[in-house]
Amino acid sequence: MPPAFGSEARSRQLPSAPPRPVNRDGHRSGPVGAVAAPIPFRTAAALAAVGGWLTNLAFPDRGWWPLAYVGIAFLLVALRGARPGRAAGTGLVWGLGFFLPHVSWAVQATGSVLPWIALSLFQAAYVAGFGLLWAHAQQAPWVRRHPVVQAATAAVVWVAVEQLRGSWPFGGFPWGYLAFSQTDAPALRLAPYGGEILVSAFVVLVAALLTTTLQQVLRGRRVSASLTAAGAVAVALGPGLLPSHVEQELGRLRVGAVQGDVPTQGAHWAEQARQITANHTRGTERLVAASGQDPLDLVLWPESAADIDPRVDASQAALVDAAAAAADAPLLLGTQRFPDGQDVRFNEMVVWQAGQGARSAYAKQHPVPFGEYVPYRDFFRQLTPLVDRITTDMAAGTAPAITAIPIERLGRDVPVVTGICFEVAYADIIREGVLLGGELIVIPTNNASFGRSQESTQQLAMSRFRAAEHARATVQISTVGVSALIRPDGTVVKRTGLFTAEELVASLPLRTTLTPAARSGPALETGTYVLAAAAVTAGVLRRKRQPGRPSSTSCAWPGPRA
């Protein structure tokens, strides 16, 4: 087995060290207890910054997924032998290199660089936390002695921090999970077995092999480097051999999705809202005409397609009812509900049937903090007046993300998972709907505020991941794009462009089988936290027992040959 994480790193032999054993290449390995001097901080920071930038290129719009492995490998090298404080600083640099370009759409959405910088800094702080925790964890004796355990522990600590970032504070921000960079990679086949936790961990494991390869190249050990590189490629491609599940189990649903586009910005809100609904009504008429003799079972409109609630506005109701009548099928549409006597609003998806009106509704459970509501408004108002751009806070719904839609051709209600917009990033919301019987996943969204940035395609990657994770056909439908029809294995059947009026139609399979990822629930996340805490605790205790002793971590840049 080739050594991993720089286990060949060596430096001066301590006086009491035993003779150095000869390794496979005929060279003597570093002595037990060898001191691995850290590389200069400027070099480590440069490696980290480049690594973060490369990892961002693995995500849409670029989608160069192998760079996720390379970018994490750069971070692991940059953290070689660093003490906790410096490791945290290195992690922060990597985080900024990644998040600044990754969430640059925040400037477009808010019209200011301040929220972009604040969001990037806050998210980068979690990567700093990974550096700090990894600096401790790699000191645990059972981690130091086994190269494979080192790689696995790095993956566990990374995923634990990633999951914490996606759940705290204010419900977290899962944007930028490593797993979401792998929707075009063989690693996506792992999603049904362990979801985002397994796929993110897999990326770090492959990165560990690349780290070892780089170290062996720099030490001139070509045979070991070639073998390790071949192993890394084999491991990265291996999941592609796993089976995919795309067949229907309870019939198929002929689904039409309407992307109506939005009018030019600048008009009065109410005028724009009515125009957007009219756009989607005309789009539905085009969809029906294009469908010809093939009847539709369900028509999907996006989030905010009818922001003026047709349940209380007669002219809006007439437009929506006309669309449902033209399609001769139930219509699932997005609207806003303003409860009487309450200074809040609910973001809802409503099932509408011609002549009957609204049948049922799902209210978004996870409004976006600082995007759809402002927590601690009085406090944050002292920092920036931008918080008052959100005049009415969005309240959270309490019902699960599943909606029963009557399908006449099938003679039954079809349960559909309806995660609204950013809710696609939250595994628990989609999983709950699937566990409650969801046979299809629908992600209605409104990306108009993000312009022509990569936000919409990043969201599409998440929708593709959820499709593969739960082996469910998935539809992402947006007011302006990108909208797509997705098979249960995560592959895209059809998609639209940005800021276009387009319609999509396809016959999608309905499935009920639960994947291992769905069945495991929060068990994987809990196990990750427990293992990460055990490794970090063991490392901290070892440091306390041996204060002042230099690190001899095997995640090290190789020193000069003896």
Does the N-terminal peptide bond of residue 19 adopt cis geometry, omega within 30 degrees of 0? no
Q: Any idea what DSSP says for residue 266?
A: T
The per-residue pLDDT for 188 is: 98
Instruction: Report how far residue 395's alpha carbon sits from residue 268's, in angstroms, rounded to the nearest whole number.
Output: 24
Q: What is the pLDDT of residue 559?
A: 35
pLDDT at 554 over 60: no
Decide which of 33 and 429 is more confident.
429
Q: What is the enclosing helix (H) or strand (E) of 258?
A: strand 252-259
Token representation of residue 224:
């070991």
Lowest mean pLDDT, pick from 176-190, 248-262, 373-387, 457-471: 373-387
Please, what is the average pLDDT of the chain? 89
Instruction: Tell me how far CA of residue 317 lies from CA of 27, 113, 420, 444, 503, in angstroms.
Output: 79, 39, 22, 20, 22
DSSP string, 530-550: HHHHHHHHHHHHHHHHSTTPP
Instruction: Say how far apart CA 505 and CA 494 lie, in whole Å.
Output: 8
- Between residues 551 and 161, the one the model is more confident about: 161
According to the model, what pLDDT value does residue 7 have? 37
Q: What share of the chain is helix, strand, coil (3-state, %, to 5)?
A: 50, 15, 40
Cα→Cα distances 554→51, 77, 81, 527, Å? 20, 10, 8, 25
The residue-averaged pLDDT of 279-308 equals 95
DSSP for 84-135, please give it: HHHHHHHHHHHHHHHHHHHTTHHHHHHSSHHHHHHHHHHHHHHHHHHHHHHH
pLDDT tens string 126-144: 999 999 999 999 998 888 8
Q: What is the DSSP letter of 369?
A: B
Q: Are 317 and 357 in contact (CB under 8 A)?
A: yes
Residue in the structure block whose two tokens are 């033209």: 326
Per DSSP, the three-state class of 506 is strand
Question: Which pLDDT band holds residue 555 (cuts at 50, 70, 90)?
Answer: very low
Weakest mean pLDDT among 94-103, 138-147, 314-323: 138-147
- Tokens representing 359 are 């049948």
Q: CA–CA separation, 150 vs 553, rounded Å?
A: 10
On the 0-12 / 13-18 / 19+ scale of CB atoms within 10 A, 78 is: buried
Spatial CA neighbour of 305 closest among 288, 324, 328, 326: 324
Min mean pLDDT across 88-97, 285-294, 507-516 is at 285-294
Strands, DSSP E only, in 354-408? 357-363, 393-394, 402-407
DSSP for 482-505, please give it.
--EEE-TTS-EEEE--SS--EEEE
In angstroms, the CA 320 to CA 316 distance is: 6
Please write the tens of the pLDDT for every residue from 483-512. 999 999 999 999 999 999 999 999 999 999
24 pLDDT more than 50 = no
Do 380 and 369 touch, CB atoms closer than 8 A?
A: no
| 375, pLDDT greater than 60 | yes
H or E element that contains 528 = helix 523-545
Element (H, E) at 234: helix 222-237
Kindly report the length of the chain: 562
Q: What architecture does CATH give domain 252-364+398-508?
A: 4-Layer Sandwich (3.60)
DSSP 399-419: S-SEEEEEETTTTEEEEEEE-
For residue 267, what pLDDT is reported? 53
Please report, for residues 143, 231, 405, 425, the alpha-carbon distance to residue 3 in angstroms, rounded to integers and kept in the order given. 13, 12, 55, 36
Nearest to 487 by CA among 247, 251, 295, 253: 247
| Cβ within 8 Å of residue 205, ≥6 positions away | 151, 152, 155, 235
Residue with tokens 């440069």: 46
What is this structure's pTM?
0.90
Mean predicted confidence (pLDDT) in 89-105: 98
Q: Both ends of the chain: CA-CA distance in Å? A: 23
* β-sheet bridge partners, residue 406: 413
The domain limits of the chain are 41-244+526-545, 252-364+398-508
Per-residue 3-state assignment (H helix, E strand, C coil) for 171-200: CCCCCCCHHHHCCCCHHHHHHHHHHHHHHH
Q: Which residues lie closer than 8 Å to 192 by C-beta, 6 or more apart?
A: 245, 468, 469, 470, 471, 515, 516, 517
> Please, where are the H alpha helices in 238-291?
269-291
Q: Are 8 and 30 in contact (CB under 8 A)?
A: yes
What was the pLDDT predicted at 268? 60
**Cα angle: 97, vertex 182, 464; to 5 degrees:** 115
Place of tokens 């649903």: 253
Report the pLDDT value the prediction gives residue 529, as an integer from 0 to 100: 97
pLDDT value for 530: 97
Our CA angle for 292, 293, 296, nearest 5°, is 85
Q: Which residues contact 50 (CB under 8 A, 6 or more apart)?
A: 71, 74, 97
The bridge status of strand 298-300 relative to strand 252-259 is parallel
So what's the pLDDT on residue 8?
35
